[in-house]
Structure 1
Amino acid sequence: MNKPHFRKPLILTFLTILLLCLSFPPADLGYLAWVACIPWFILMVTEEKYICLYSLGIGAIFFIIQLSWLRHIAFIAWVLLSLYCSAYFLAFAFCTRYITTKLKLPFVIVVPCIWTAMEFVRSFLLSGFPWFFIGHTQYQYLPVIQIADITGVYGISLIIIMSNAAIADLLSLSFIRQRRTFFKLTCILPSVFLAISILYGFSWLRHYHPKEGPVVCMVQGNIPQDLKFESTEDDQLQILKKYTDLSESMQSTPIDLLVWPETMMPGILNIDSALTGRKIDLLSQLTATSLAQKLNTNLLLGGIALTFEGEEQVYFNSAYYYNRAGAFIDRYDKIHLVPFGEFTPLRNYFPFLGNLVPYEIGLTHGHSRIVFPLETLENEYFIFGASICYEDTVPSLIRKFKRDGVDFMLNITNDGWFRDSAELDQHLAIMVFRAVENRIPMARAANTGISSFVSPDGTIYDKLTDSAGKYREISGTLTNRIKFVKKYTPFYTLYGDWLAILCVATTGITLMIAIIKPRSVATREPA
């Protein structure tokens, strides 16, 4: 490869990485997503060699940059997850080139279909990592994202990538020989899809009239993870006092539900403290009861639960619910655990993998969704569910809660692992889509931020900030009313990821046809 020819792919590769990174938080310039992949796609239709290598490089560098907050937990996890995610970029490029070359199908249809399929597979394969979907970049643009209640976030991803593919195809002149018949399709299809999406969005927003629901208070203690992770009994007492003091500061404010983030209750609440012999367990249990009574409010408290299976101790990441009288009502155990964060896959076969887990103990996943009843001070009745940490990024879980009949969802999380990083912003952006997809209000209590309220149209209508406007690594309380719409079941809630599944099926079928088709028929002239 001569130097001038080598320069063009490098420039286009660099531009793609730059634009993709700027599209997501922390830069958060979501509008750039509509052009971010154009340089990459031009490479796909103009370069005969090394396109898979360029694509792997784009993915690896992009994910290494965007996942840099993982270095605070484990360097090896940061590198391995980045490489794993970049493999999807490689697979995307290979499938796109192979199918378009052999079957002569329109680039503007093949590319968004394969991209959407890859995002969907990444959302569940090997426990799933539904992060950095290109549709997530649009969380601030309400008219664009309303169609998620039909297609899920995948519909927004498909339209963005279709637009990128169309522009790249037109700019590359690759359609002159093989795809002249697709010229009108390339020009019209993205415009039609985008117009339908925006018109639907404006129509839905015009008829959106939210009602006010229960008053919920989020407590954000900003406990450093270093203090919490290797805490002494004195440290645990300090954490308990910090959250108790913040909660009691709300004593003069009527609230229906007070929420502590994930694992912020330092003691175990579901076991007789006499069995554990730990002072912190007794104090935590007394605090939960007294706090509910003193504030005359219901409580949702994040903590660790302990049960016994024979002589084996089994631990859960849990959300405990107490009524106003201080009586324990029920507990939700986290279903979707984070691999190499809360449990170690294949640990029985490869014990050394246990060194990658930041917990001294392995956690066990819960087995069922739990819905909690809530009676407000105004004698209204609601049903709500809780997701813990990463679970609000799992579309199927929130969709199932909605089908269980919940009126709103809470998320309790401790993103203190990632300090003052863009992970907190990225996490919140993803939660917006769970609200829109199911037309369900969501609220979050986060230890270090970002505690917030999200309405069914995707608006982040309140979040905890300090006087300087800082919203990460601060402490305080955030109180607001839940905003909800008249209960109904959106298309997406009923039928789930139908669009993404359709893209997977279409990709699989066309790939099989391309493999079966005789090579001699698929000769391709250089673009």
Structure 2
Amino acid sequence: MYKKHFYVNLFLSFLTVLLLSFSFPSPCVSYLAWIALVPWFIIISTGYRTGLFSYLTGLLFFAFNLTWLWFVTGFGWILLALFLALFFYFFGLVIHYVRRWLRLPHLFIAPFVWVTFEYLRSFPYFGFPWFFVGHTQYLHLPLIQIADITGMYGISFLIVTVNAAIADLIEYFLFKYFPGSEIVPSILSEKRGMALRITIIVPCSLISLILTYGYFDLKGKPASPNGPDICVVQGNIPQGVKIKANKEQRKKILSKYTDLSLQAAGKKTDIIVWPETMVPGILNIDPKILNREIDNLSKESVRIITDATYANLLLGGTAIDVRDASALYFNTAFYFDRNGSYINRYDKIYLVPFGEFIPFEKWLSFFSYLVPYSVSLSGGEQRTIFELDTGKGSRNCKFGVIICYEDTVASLVRKFRKDGADFMINITNDAWFHNSSELDQHLAVMVFRAVENRTSITRAANSGISSFIAPNGEIYDYLHSKKKYKEIEGILCNKIRFENSANSWYTNHGDVFAISCVSVTAVLFLAALTKRIFA
């Protein structure tokens, strides 16, 4: 009997991994997300080795979907998958524990607990804000508009609600027609008429409410292309070339990006944007200090571009500061005005652990081989709001910059918006991951930052996907050539779209919805614990 249970649950675990994996980009068969968790919930309903199969489901899912991390670090790929699987493990245990002692259906537990663990996983340096189930729906505009209230978590909540309802219906019919089955029934399974009504009405009502909100929101807040003209440059420099570039290769990289930028000459361009770390020289120090030719050439390129295009420049590069006789290195966005004069810079605040720095480096120095840079970078300390002179007689625009994976930190983008940023620019270098699905997944995450804060976001990516995203989440332009949109080079010029509306509820109040789900989860768990103690 136990052997039979083991193989059945193993099949159900594989089924969830398969369905959930294919629902994410790419291939982004998004409707699969609405049923992907059902097999796993059935495992939890049986109570047979819930922890084991929950961890196995998480491990297989993350190991399979993080394969693009292999391009950077094979050891890091396995280690991250092993760690992230713990979130699935504890999710399964909490659901099983609450169901066992309170006998509630999945519908009343799973959505709250799922959002709780996604929220916990969203914290920088604690989790990995990637592969949230709501990300699968980034192309469905009416559905995702609710994110300006609930954040991305509202879409995850809805998807898990539907999965939970389907699992409860299966449980109900198994309990009714196969009384000898190993499914542990909830209190609704024994109240058949009520079970059917509640299980069908709740998800249908939520879907109707959210879609209605989305349709009216899209109709009532049209975004118009009345913003500044931005030109993003995509040079498609292979990471293997860039990270090990010698003097001549650095010159070629600089020349390539300069030549592409000069293609904007004669166009109406307010600002030209280069991706993350694409300037091979150091722009914030006197070239005589390091006595490197590439630093002089990099500064000359700024002057050449501004003279030819009369555009502001936002360039991704590396900054060096000397503090207390020590050199600190920063992942930086440098801003220059139309005359080529340096204005200000933004240093990346949230660095990638074991990618850009080693946490607790004093004690974990043996992990130094995981960091692709020769030194650990330092994190920035403040958000910088840049002012863009459009030269159109209207007020100047303000914008913020997020570098690389900072667009996964929802709270950072929200704070930029509250600081007064009219739009955001993301500069990134996803060439680390070649033409893998990581590029599509990264873009999907950024769509939700736009909707949450009702702000346009423009992305400049070294190898793709350079794009323009409207405040409603529409990807209204992206760089492509002959149906290819990864690992190509070129420039992409378009206008920023503005929405005539005040800050969104999410911008003003943050993750209230997610925190509410955490509170409900805590109450459910404590109630189950209390019942167990006094049973």
Please indicate the TM-score interval, normalised by the length of the shorter structure. over 0.9
Q: Residue deviations 1:176-231, cap 9 Å, x none?
A: 65324561322221111111110000010111321221110010000000111011
Amino acid at match of 1:53: L
Moved more, 509-518 or 197-206: 509-518
In structure 1, the residue matched to 2:204 is 191
In structure 2, the residue matched to 1:256 is 270
CA distance in 1 between counterparts of 2:75 and 2:94 reads: 29
**What is the alpha-carbon root mean square deviation over aligned residues?**
1.4
User: Structure 2: 5+ residue runs without aligned partners?
Assistant: 177-184
1:303 match: secondary structure: strand
Q: How does 1:227-306 map to 2 (within 5 A)?
A: 227-306=241-320
TM-score, normalising length: structure 1: 0.96
The structure 2 residue matched to 1:378, chosen from 392, 396, 411, is 392
CA distance in 1 between counterparts of 2:48 and 2:437 reads: 35
CA distance in 2 between counterparts of 1:358 and 1:435 reads: 30
Amino acid at match of 1:150: I
CA distance in 2 between counterparts of 1:149 and 1:394 reads: 15
> Is 1:313 the equivalent of 2:312?
no
CA distance in 2 between counterparts of 1:94 and 1:122 reads: 17
Q: How does 1:58-77 map to 2 (within 5 A)?
A: 58-77=57-76
Q: How does 1:18-37 map to 2 (within 5 A)?
A: 18-37=18-37
The structure 2 residue matched to 1:498, chosen from 512, 526, 532, is 512
Q: Residue deviations 1:375-423, cap 9 Å, x none?
A: 2142332111110000011100000011011111000000011111000
Amino acid at match of 2:519: A
Contact persistence 2:463–2:488 (CA under 8 A): yes
Contact persistence 1:407–1:487 (CA under 8 A): no
Contact persistence 2:102–2:528 (CA under 8 A): yes
2:123 match: secondary structure: helix
* Structure 1 outlier segments of 4+, above 4 Å: 174-177
Contact persistence 2:106–2:167 (CA under 8 A): no
2:519 match: secondary structure: helix
Q: How does 1:72-471 map to 2 (within 5 A)?
A: 72-124=71-123, 126-173=125-172, 178-179=187-188, 180-181=190-191, 183=195, 184-212=197-225, 213-380=227-394, 381-466=396-481, 468-471=482-485
Q: Residue deviations 1:324-363, cap 9 Å, x none?
A: 0111111000001000000000110121011111110110
CA distance in 1 between counterparts of 2:9 and 2:528 reads: 27
CA distance in 2 between counterparts of 1:431 and 1:149 reads: 14
Contact persistence 1:169–1:175 (CA under 8 A): no
2:122 match: secondary structure: helix
1:513 match: secondary structure: helix
Contact persistence 2:84–2:127 (CA under 8 A): no
Amino acid at match of 2:69: L
In structure 2, the residue matched to 1:16 is 16
Amino acid at match of 1:83: L
2:251 match: secondary structure: helix
1:158 match: secondary structure: helix
In structure 2, the residue matched to 1:524 is none
Pick closer, same or farther for the CA change 1:175–1:410 going to 2, 3 Å. farther
Contact persistence 2:34–2:159 (CA under 8 A): yes
Q: Residue deviations 1:26-78, cap 9 Å, x none?
A: 11111111111111111211x23212111111111111111000001111100
1:518 match: secondary structure: helix
